[in-house]
A and B are shown apart, each in its own frame.
Chain A
Amino acid sequence: KNQVEQSPQSLIILEGKNCTLQCNYTVSPFSNLRWYKQDTGRGPVSLTIMTFSENTKSNGRYTATLDADTKQSSLHITASQLSDSASYICVVSASHSSASKIIFGSGTRLSIRP
């Protein structure tokens, strides 16, 4: 069964600190993996997208890594800011010729405290 698991479920850190969120998946055949940021009551917004051949991608203070062999990804946030408080969702796409399926993780709720 295609699954995406994220950890931790929630995380509280002080402003200015770094943190790393984890995503493990069992999606096959793998097409791509994306990290989204979802502010409360809003739609998710894409941070990074990675395909099988990419193992690191950065977007400002956000750096995503992908290990296709172990089927793991991480999202590292550097020098956190209060505006980073949100849910971070890992999304993996499976590709089956003309069909497609997008599998969402349950997200990590990150709270940044001043």
Chain B
Amino acid sequence: DGGITQSPKYLFRKEGQNVTLSCEQNLNHDAMYWYRQDPGQGLRLIYYSQIVNDFQKGDIAEGYSVSREKKESFPLTVTSAQKNPTAFYLCASSIDQAGRAEAFFGQGTRLTVV
């Protein structure tokens, strides 16, 4: 089945550690996005990529890094520089580079710093 898959669903990280969240899609979508959601808050854009080997910072990119070596994959690394990483992270993809198509979301990864 076509879709967008995030893993793991739950992730625990010790303070000072980097951690990478996986996002894979088999929808042949060009554009992919990472969002962060805090309790009671809306989604905030971390990074987005409109084509392989290219990505752009979103509104809250500090403390995060991404790569887009393959069309299907857009992993997000939460670095130790991110001071408040505990949140729900959502990955999305869209078929149209101009954003006119619908965004499909993964099921999310809940990251907790312990």
Contacts and interface: CB of A to CB of B under 8 A. Distances in A.
Interface in B71-111: 88, 90, 92, 94, 96-100, 102-108, 110
A93 B101 CA distance: 9
Contacts of A32: 100
A100 B99 contact: yes
A11 interface: no
Contacts of A49: 102
Contact of A34 (B31, B88, B102, B106): B102
B53 interface: no
A45 B105 CA distance: 7
A43 B105 CA distance: 6
Contacts of A59: none
A92 B90 CA distance: 17
Interface residues of A, number: 29
B35 interface: yes
A63 interface: no
Given A41-B110, A43-B90, A107-B42, A102 B105 contact: no
Contacts of A107: 42
Interface of A: 9, 31-32, 34, 36, 41-46, 49, 89, 91, 93-102, 104-107, 109
Interface of B: 6, 31, 33, 35, 40-45, 50, 88, 90, 92, 94, 96-100, 102-108, 110
The 3 nearest A-B residue pairs measured at CB: A100-B99, A106-B42, A43-B105
6 contacts: A32-B100, A36-B105, A41-B108, A43-B108, A49-B102, A104-B42
